[in-house]
């Protein structure tokens, strides 16, 4: 049976009917959500009761704020609305969740709910059982990357001068979100553009008195080991859930940035290099410089890649463009659940941790960072860092602890992941969920990372409850009936937390 995988193509909303929000409301909402910690109150989406029953009033802290805080950062993390906000009673909450967290068809669910401020366990069903997490694995990768690389780190794509006159070396430094055109400073995808890189290269060559023909070489030697994880299904690779990994690519290894499903380039680095060569030829023609057709692989003056950034000691840098920050890339991979981007970020995390930029290095680096964070990894078995394989095994408690570290832990670097959690009914892979039925009361309130494989569903995130208490949670279902209504089960369960007084 073909698996339904966890990539952006399977988890993103795709052409389904959506509830339309007033433009002003949505604008204010998204502005409010841009404040990751200074404003802990998520506004609720309004709407009449679909059952004909009168709905309870929305608590003030779940309504649209009248003023917006400035984004100044809050190293202390998200905190309860006040110290007086009551913690849900375990027995009452457990009874409510046991009513909703029931598999539709085969399979079982494990789950954990914790008070974010104190870590108190409020709901425990198989908290320490090893479960396949699907794309919830990306939460671990995001946390590890923010710790090892730092939120403000950028990756450089460089053009180096070769020892052979008239030869330039396009050198990958980990940016797989390159755009074909000019750099777009306000974008994440396409922040660094190959047209801009080509124009800068032409200027540098002119200054060196070179008129052509210029030969382009490609150095993509930053990553080591197999480009494809042997644990991945070749069917998933063919479907475009991921692709062979390289340290440079266009559009997260997509042919078209507007299409996030379907087959990907199988040699994303060469595809990017050929695009650069074409841009170099176009820019060179305007300056009277010619470019030889074709691109070959060769390190040239790049030599042995050093310092994990694609540059070789002593090599002359002719031109350079830099990626969006790691924080922005983490937001993108969480919002869209992009397997390719997650795996590349994992390999860059490995380099920053002093490990090989291979699959094994990425896995080891993520585990090391979690251990250094104080999150127990005894039950963790990782075969990749994107969650695309059934070989990953994670407990719901571990996932909840990672979410708690992001919202309320002692490492302020992790706060950068807050904006990446999809928002129920509004953004990312939750954009087409929470729109109808009992789950609608969680719309705009529940913020969680999704996970989807053929028989696996997961949802881990955070929510401010009706009493103003911040809760973190993780719910994982394994052995589920494919095609059954288990996403609705997860959504109803998380919405219970949003509406919980539970006392």
If asked whether residues 313 and 291 sit together in one domain, one would say yes
Is residue 138 part of the annotated active site? The answer reads yes
pLDDT at 379: 82
User: Which of 299, 324, 349 finishes a domain?
Assistant: 324
**Residues 6 or more apart whose Cβ sits within 8 Å of residue 448:** 421, 422, 424, 430, 459, 460, 461, 462, 473, 494
The answer as to whether 2 is a domain residue is no
If asked whether residues 478 and 341 sit together in one domain, one would say yes
pTM for the model stands at: 0.86
Is residue 395 part of the annotated active site? The answer reads no
pLDDT at 27 over 80: no
pLDDT at 11 over 90: no
If asked whether residues 265 and 293 sit together in one domain, one would say yes
pLDDT at 212: 76
Per the structure, the complete domain to which residue 106 belongs is given by: 8-149+329-498
| CATH code of the domain covering residue 134 | 3.40.710.10
Q: How far apart are CA 338 and CA 342, in angstroms?
A: 6
**Residues 6 or more apart whose Cβ sits within 8 Å of residue 311:** 156, 158, 160, 171, 173, 302, 305, 317
If asked whether residues 130 and 171 sit together in one domain, one would say no
The answer as to whether 1 is a domain residue is no
If asked whether residues 90 and 40 sit together in one domain, one would say yes
Catalytic residue, chosen from 277, 323, 337, 358, is 337
pLDDT at 442 over 90: yes
Return the closest-CA partner of residue 321 out of 224, 250, 227, 243. Answer: 250
Catalytic residue, chosen from 4, 138, 355, 487, is 138
**pLDDT, tens digit (0-9, with 9 covering 90-100), for 360-407:** 999 999 999 999 999 988 889 999 999 999 999 999 999 999 999 999
If asked whether residues 101 and 223 sit together in one domain, one would say no
Quick one: three-class SS letters along 171-187? Answer: ECCCEEEEECCCCCCCC
Is residue 135 part of the annotated active site? The answer reads yes
E-only strand ranges, 95-246? 108-115, 121-125, 156-161, 167-171, 175-178, 214-219
The answer as to whether 307 is a domain residue is yes
Place 73 in a pLDDT band, splitting at 50, 70 and 90. Answer: very low
Catalytic residue, chosen from 4, 6, 135, 358, is 135
Per the document, the length of the chain is 503
Q: How far apart are CA 45 and CA 436, in angstroms?
A: 12
**Residues 6 or more apart whose Cβ sits within 8 Å of residue 360:** 225
**pLDDT, tens digit (0-9, with 9 covering 90-100), for 139-198:** 999 999 999 999 999 999 999 999 888 999 999 999 999 999 999 999 999 999 999 999
Q: Residue 115 forms beta bridges with which residues?
A: 471
pLDDT at 209 over 80: yes
If asked whether residues 234 and 358 sit together in one domain, one would say no
The terminus-to-terminus CA distance of the chain in angstroms comes to: 45
pLDDT at 203: 96
Name the more confident of 210 and 150: 150
pLDDT at 241: 96
If asked whether residues 252 and 387 sit together in one domain, one would say no
Q: How many domains does the chain have?
A: 2
């Amino acid at each position: 049976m073909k698996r339904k995988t966890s990539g952006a193509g399977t988890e993103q909303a795709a052409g389904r009917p959506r509830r339309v929000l007033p433009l002003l409301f949505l604008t204010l909402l998204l502005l409010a959500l841009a404040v990751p910690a200074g404003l802990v109150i998520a506004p609720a989406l309004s709407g009449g009761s679909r059952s004909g029953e009168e709905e309870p009033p929305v608590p003030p802290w779940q309504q649209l704020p009248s003023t917006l805080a400035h984004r100044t950062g809050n190293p202390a993390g998200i905190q309860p609305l006040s110290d007086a906000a009551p913690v849900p009673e375990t027995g009452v909450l457990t009874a409510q969740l046991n009513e909703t967290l029931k598999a539709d068809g085969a399979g079982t669910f494990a789950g954990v709910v914790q008070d974010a401020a104190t870590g108190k366990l409020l709901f425990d069903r198989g908290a320490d059982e090893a479960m396949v997490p699907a794309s919830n694995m990306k939460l671990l990768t995001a946390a590890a990357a923010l710790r090892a690389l730092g939120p403000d780190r950028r990756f450089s794509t460089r053009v180096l001068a070769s020892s052979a006159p008239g030869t330039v070396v396009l050198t990958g430094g980990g940016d797989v979100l390159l755009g074909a055109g000019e750099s777009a400073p306000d974008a994440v995808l396409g922040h660094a553009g190959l047209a801009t890189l080509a124009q800068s290269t032409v200027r540098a060559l002119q200054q060196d008195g070179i008129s052509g023909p210029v030969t382009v070489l490609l150095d993509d030697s930053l990553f080591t080991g197999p480009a494809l994880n042997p644990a991945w299904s070749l069917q998933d690779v063919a479907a475009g859930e991921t692709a062979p990994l390289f340290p440079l690519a266009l559009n997260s290894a997509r042919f078209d940035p507007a299409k996030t499903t379907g087959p990907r380039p199988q040699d994303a680095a060469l595809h990017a290099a050929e695009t650069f060569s074409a841009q170099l030829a176009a820019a060179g023609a305007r300056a009277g410089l010619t470019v030889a057709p074709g691109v070959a692989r060769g390190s040239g003056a790049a030599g042995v890649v050093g310092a994990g950034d694609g540059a070789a000691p002593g090599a002359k840098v002719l031109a350079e463009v830099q990626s969006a920050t790691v924080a922005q890339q983490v937001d993108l991979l969480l919002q869209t659940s992009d397997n390719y981007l997650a795996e590349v970020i994992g390999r860059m995390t490995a380099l920053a941790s002093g490990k090989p930029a291979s699959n094994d290095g990425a896995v080891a680096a993520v585990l090391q960072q979690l251990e250094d964070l104080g999150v127990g990894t005894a039950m963790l078995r990782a075969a990749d860092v994107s969650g695309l394989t059934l070989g990953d095994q994670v407990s719901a408690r571990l996932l909840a602890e990672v979410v708690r570290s992001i919202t309320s832990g002692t490492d302020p670097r992790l706060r950068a992941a807050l904006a990446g959690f999809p928002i129920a009914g509004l953004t990312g892979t939750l954009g087409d969920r929470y729109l109808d039925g009992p789950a609608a009361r969680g719309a705009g309130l529940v913020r969680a990372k999704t996970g989807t494989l053929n028989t696996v569903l997961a949802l881990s995130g955070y929510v401010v409850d009706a009493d103003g208490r911040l809760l973190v949670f993780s719910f994982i279902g394994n052995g589920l009936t494919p095609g059954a209504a288990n996403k609705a089960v997860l959504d109803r369960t998380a919405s219970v937390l949003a509406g919980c007084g539970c006392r």
